Chains A and B, each alone.
Chain A
Amino acid sequence: MAAPVSNGAIVEDETAGLSVAVNFNFSNTGSGGTLQVFQSATYYAPNSGLPDDNDPGWTAAADAAGNAPSDGVQSTTFSHVGFTQARGTLMYYYSRRKSASAVEIGTPWPVTEIVPSRAYISGVSYNAGYSVATVNTSVADTVTTLYYYASTSSSQPGYALTSPWQTSPSTIWSTNNSFTVTPGSNYYYWVLGWTHNNPGPDGAVISPMFAATAGAGSMGLRVFTDATPPLIRLDTKDKQIMHYAAFSGSLAKNGTATISVGGGYDITSGDWGIDVTPVDLYLKAVSTTNQIVVSYPRPGTVPYPVQWRINVFKLNQA
C-alpha cells in the first residue's frame, strides 16, 4: 500500500455558526486498501499504535457526493467532508490506508486544525470622564486570541484573511480593548477571534456589532431575581410591549366585522401591531389607520362559523 498525503484541513471560519464544517484535504490519496480518516481532540504520536486500529471512529473517506477518492496523486485536491468542529477547539485529523490487518499511516500525522471562538461583547465600561471606553468580552478557550476595533462608523471592518500566509490581523485591529472616545458620541465596537494555526492558514471570526454612546448609559431600571446567580427580570434593554387589547367574535361565510381600536391606534405609524387567530387561509385581518376589518371569504360550503380573535399590540411605548 502507498500512504496518503494530506495538504491540510480547511474550514470556513467566517461564519456565525457554533461549529464549522471541516474539509480534510489530500494531494495524494495513496493506494491499496481503503483510505480512512479519523478526528480526535487527542494527539497521538506516530507509531504509538493509537488511535486503535479497530476504533469505530475510523471512517472511509468520501467527498461531498459520498464517493471514495481515486488512488494516487490528485490533480485537484480531494476533500473528505463530514467532520464538524466546535468553535474554540483544537482537533487532530489522522489518515491511513487499511487493508485487512495491514495499515499504512498518512502524513502529516496528524493534521491539526484550530477554530476560533466567536466573541460577543457584553458591554462597554468607561473611566470617570467617559473618555476611555473598555470593551467587555471574553471567550472560554485557550486557542482564540482576541483583537478589538472601535469606530464612529457602523460599517463592519475588514477582518478575513487576504492570503493563506497572513499570520496576524490587519493593523486596524488592536490587542488593547480600551479606546479613547469623545463623551456623548456614538461608537461601534467589534471583537475579532483569531487563531494562529501555523503551518495552516489562520482562523478569523468577527463578533456581532455592539453600539454604545460614550457616557453614563444604561438609563432606566434593572430588577434581579433572588436566584443564584441573580437573573435579570427587568432590564433597560428590554422592549416594553403593551398587549393593548383583545377582540373576538365569530364570522359565517363571507361575513365581515369592523373593529375600532381607539387609544390612538394607527397601523401605519409603525408603533402598533395586530395578530389574528386561528390559523385559517380564509380568515383575513386587514387594517388601515385606526380600524381593523376581519372577513371570512371562504369558498364552498362552510358548515361552521370561524371563531376569531384579534390581539392588538403597542410595540413602542413612547
Chain B
Amino acid sequence: MTYGIRVENDSGYTQIDQTTQGFQVLATGTVAASNAYTINYVTIPSSYPDDILVVAKPNNPNTNLNYRLFARYQDLTFSNGTRQRRAYMNFAYGTVVAATQAADYAIIQRCSLFDDSVISGQTPPNYGLNVYRSDSTLSFTTEHPTFRVQAARHHNVTSTDSGATVWYTGVDATDMQNIYALAMSYGAYRYKVYGPYNDRQYISSSRLGQWDFPNNRFATKIQTVSGSELSGTPLEDSFWEGHRTELLGYIV
C-alpha cells in the first residue's frame, strides 16, 4: 500500500484500504404496488453510470407474514439507439403467489474512482471519512448514504440444487424490516411443460428472496405454481443454471 490508510476488522478482512469500495447510494424510492399480472419498475436515469446495482426491501410490510421478492434488471438498447434501463420489483406475500406488494428500492454504485465533485457541497461539509487513492480519486467515502453489506452469498444454481435455504438471521427484533437485498435476478428458475400451451399443463418455479418476518430471517426460496393436471414426463424442462450472488445490507 502506498497511500492512505489500511484498516482490518476483527475477522482479519480489510475494512478500508486504497482499493476498498463501499457502495454509495445514488437514489432511493418506492416501486408502487401492482396487480396480479404486472410487475412495476423504476427507470434508471440515463445520467447514471453503467455499473449501478439495485437493492430492495418490502414497503410497509405486515410482519406477521413472509414476503418474497420478484426482481429483474433490464438494460436494453433498441435499434434506434435508445437505451432503456429498468429495475422491476414487487413482492408476493403470505399465501399469495402473485407479486403485488410495493417495494422500497435504492440505486447504488460502487464508491470508487470518484473525484471530489461527488462530495462537494455536502452539508455539513466533509463530514465522515474519505479515503483517497494515489491518483487523488476517492476510493471510499462515508459522506453519502451507503449500502452496508451484512451478508453475502454465492451459489452455482443447477437443476438439482437451487440453493434454496435460510442464510441470514436478524440480529434484533426489527432487523429484517431494515434489510435490503440485491434486486437484480430473483425470478424464473425452472419451467416444465407437460402438454399443449392451451391446456396450461406446466409447473413454473421461481427463485426468490424471502423476508421471513415471523421467524426473523432471510431465505432464498423456491415458489412453485402449476396449471391444470400434470402427469407423466415433461415435454420440456428448462432451468436457469449458472452462478448467482446475493447481498443483504442496510441503507444508512
Contacts and interface: CB of A to CB of B under 8 A. Distances in A.
Interface residues of A, number: 62
Given A272-B154, A307-B77, A235 B243 contact: no
Contacts of B153: 273
Contact of B149 (A16, A219, A239): A239
A16 B239 CA distance: 33
B185 A279 contact: yes
Residues of B in contact with A, size category:
35 or more
- Tell me what chain A mostly uses at the interface: helix, strand, loop, or mixed: loop
B216 to A, nearest CB: 5
A242 interface: yes
A239 B20 CA distance: 11
Contacts of A280: 188, 240
- Tell me what chain B mostly uses at the interface: helix, strand, loop, or mixed: strand
Interface of A: 15-19, 84, 118, 120, 122, 208, 213, 217-221, 223, 225-226, 231-243, 246, 248, 267, 270, 272-287, 292, 299, 307, 309, 311, 313, 315-318
Given A84-B64, A234-B16, A284-B242, 14 more contacts: A18-B213, A208-B171, A217-B10, A220-B10, A223-B128, A240-B15, A243-B110, A270-B154, A277-B73, A279-B240, A287-B242, A307-B75, A307-B77, A315-B154
Nearest to A306: B76
Q: Which of B214, B238, B241 has the most CB of A within 10 A?
A: B214
Contacts of A242: 19-21, 110
B41 to A, nearest CB: 12
Contacts of B252: 225, 231-233
Nearest to B169: A208
Given A17-B215, A281-B191, A233 B243 contact: no
24 contacts: A19-B64, A213-B10, A226-B127, A231-B252, A238-B148, A240-B16, A240-B20, A240-B149, A242-B110, A248-B75, A273-B244, A275-B243, A275-B244, A277-B75, A278-B72, A281-B188, A281-B240, A284-B241, A285-B242, A286-B243, A287-B243, A292-B243, A313-B245, A313-B247
B187 interface: yes
Contacts of A225: 127-128, 252
A219 to B, nearest CB: 5
B214 A19 contact: yes
B239 A281 contact: yes
A311 B216 contact: no
A281 B124 CA distance: 48
Interface in B153-182: 153-154, 156, 169, 171-173, 182
A267 B169 contact: no
B148 A233 contact: yes
Nearest to A243: B110
A219 B185 contact: no
B13 interface: yes
A236 B9 CA distance: 6
B23 interface: yes
Nearest to B190: A281
A270 B185 CA distance: 20
Contacts of B156: 287
Nearest to A140: B173
Contacts of A235: 148
A316 B14 CA distance: 8
B21 A233 contact: no
A221 B129 contact: yes
Given A234-B22, A313-B152, A273 B245 contact: yes
Contacts of A299: 236
